[in-house]
Structure 1
Amino acid sequence: MTDTTVTYLFDPLCGWCYGSTPMLDRLAASGVTLELLPTGLFSGSGARPMDEGFAAHAWANDQRIERLSGQVFSQAYLDNVLNVRGTLLDSSAATLGVSAAGLDDPRLRLAALKAIQRARYVDGRDIVTVDGVAQVLADAGMADTAAAVKAPTDEVLAAHRELVGRGRGLFQRLHANGVPSLAVIRNDAPRLISSNALFGSYENLVAHLQAA
């Protein structure tokens, strides 16, 4: 598996993506090269108000994700994120943060994503505004990335657009029906791995990747 590159399609505000983090960590620890590509699913036209109905739907899903993955969805998240009206489900700033973190070293995208996810789902912090994301990244020791989020240069914005564009393009090419999605690319041909493999045993996930 050490010669395998796995592409991971995600959105920072996707609870199932947060739930798949333990499997990503195990893959990275085993020597698999992970390429993280954001799809922008909940940004731009995909953003939506955090109303009561959506909050209830999200919390029900989150409880299922917690049972399957062991990832914590805290009371602080319920109180300070889901139950706060007048906010948006908008991943624009968080996605920019992940892109900016990997500008010089793509491996840092995972660290930035994990910091952002933990801030939301465990600490109940704001990750839908530029200031909120910048503070989370600064607290995680990524001061340069935080500054890039608050005042992005043309280089950062161009790299961000290119990364999301690649993510959306691959998502469409795979005919994926949601995130998280995994792909193994061999001979320029991407092969979609069922997202269910991220929520079973690690051995089952490895078997899926080896068979792709």
Structure 2
Amino acid sequence: MSEEKLIVIYDTFCGWCYGAAPVFDAIVDTDAKVEVLHRHLFDGPYAPKMSEGKGAQILKLIPHVEGLTGQIFSEAFKDNIARSETEVLASGLSAQAAALVHDQGPEKEFALRHRLETLHFGEGMSSTDRQAIVDALIAEGVAPDQAERIGTPELEAKATAYAERAKVLMAAVGSRGVPTVLKVSGDHVTQVDHQTFYGRPETVPANPAEFTSI
């Protein structure tokens, strides 16, 4: 019998993924086999400018996400990001940062994710601030010369490959957005209900078989 595993598909700067962060971390902290994939959701024509409606949409959604998950969006985020006249929500640099540490395992990738979430949703750091992302990588123990690879075609290609794999998996189960959590058993892939653990990540089961499929 094939060993079951979980795949967590996320985007660092997605508000719902930030809301699900405690559940993500609880999943990785179990003894289950876990893979994480950065979706690279906000890119090119899909990188919205906050002043063109995205910011207002986020501000309207924040109370719902906070109430459901317990995750708090700071005033710095609301003022510097959601209400900004110039801010663009982009995933390219965070996807590359995730790709850079991906091979070191989900714990490493999610430690970086947590640091970037704190900077973005807590301190109001722009998703396009390359230097802040480079500094975050270095703070997580990545060698400076490696961290400076952010923005290179090679790293962009690696990030795109992970995102494309995530996209294919999501399409296979009919998922339209992130966060998405999948259960894999051999060639069988199902989407599982991670939302039931919002606000109570301590109830996340250690065994993938115990997750309820959608």
Q: How many residues align?
A: 208
Unaligned residue ranges in structure 1 (runs of 5+): none
Q: Structure 1 pair 209/65, CA: closer, same or farther in 2 (3 Å)? A: farther
- Of structures 1 and 2, the one scoring higher in RCO (CA 8 A, sep 6+) is 2
The Cα RMSD (Å) is: 2.5
CA pair 204-108 structure 1, distance change in 2 beyond 3 A: closer
- 1:148 and 2:149 equivalent? yes
Counterpart secondary structure, 2:183 = strand
- CA distance in structure 1 between the aligned counterparts of 2:115 and 2:83, rounded to whole angstroms: 22
Rate the CA distance shift 1:182–1:21 in 2: closer, same or farther, 3 A.
same
TM-score (norm 2): 0.84
CA distance in 1, matches of 2:203, 2:99: 30
**Pair 59,138 (structure 1): closer, same or farther in 2 beyond 3 Å:** farther
- C-alpha displacement at 1:181, in angstroms? 0.7
Work out the CA distance in 1 between the residues paired with 2:112 and 2:101: 6
Secondary structure at the counterpart of residue 184 of structure 2: strand
| Match runs of 1:9-48 below 5 Å | 9-48=9-48
Q: Residue 197 of structure 1 contacts residue 205 of structure 1 at CA under 8 Å; is this kept in 2?
A: no
What is the rounded CA distance, in whole Å, between the counterparts of 1:205 and 1:101 in structure 2? 25
Deviates more, 1:90-99 or 1:27-36: 27-36
Equivalent residue of 1:35, what SS? strand
Structure 1 residues 138 and 203, CA gap change in structure 2 (3 angstroms): closer
Kindly provide the amino acid, as one letter, of the partner of residue 77 in structure 2.
Answer: Y
Q: TM-score, structure 1 length as denominator? A: 0.85
Moved more, 74-83 or 3-12: 3-12
Q: Residue 7 of structure 2 contacts residue 183 of structure 2 at CA under 8 Å; is this kept in 1?
A: yes
Q: In the alignment, what sits opposite 1:117?
A: 117
Partner of 2:129: 129
What is the letter of the counterpart of residue 191 of structure 1?
Answer: T
Superposed CA offset, 1:77-107 (max 9, x none): 1121112211211111111111112144454
Where does residue 169 of structure 2 map in the other structure?
170
Matched, 1:189 2:199: no
Hey, what's the Cα distance between the residues in 2 that align with 1:74 and 1:180?
A: 21
Local SS of the residue matching 1:51: helix
Name the SS for the 1:26 alignment partner: helix
Aligned partners of 2:180 and 2:191 also within 8 Å: yes
Describe the SS at the equivalent of 1:36.
strand
Aligned-partner residue type, residue 176 of structure 2:
N
In the TM superposition, residue 28 of structure 1 has moved relative to its aligned partner by 2.0
Q: Distance in 2 between matches of 1:45 and 1:196?
A: 29
Structure 2: runs of 5+ lacking an equivalent: none
- Quick one: distance in 2 between partners of 1:26 and 1:107? 11
Distance 1:204 1:172, change over 3 A: same
Alpha-carbon distance in 1 for matches of 2:192, 2:183: 7
Q: How does 1:70-109 map to 2 (within 5 A)?
A: 70-109=70-109
Question: 2:65 aligns to what SS in structure 1?
Answer: helix
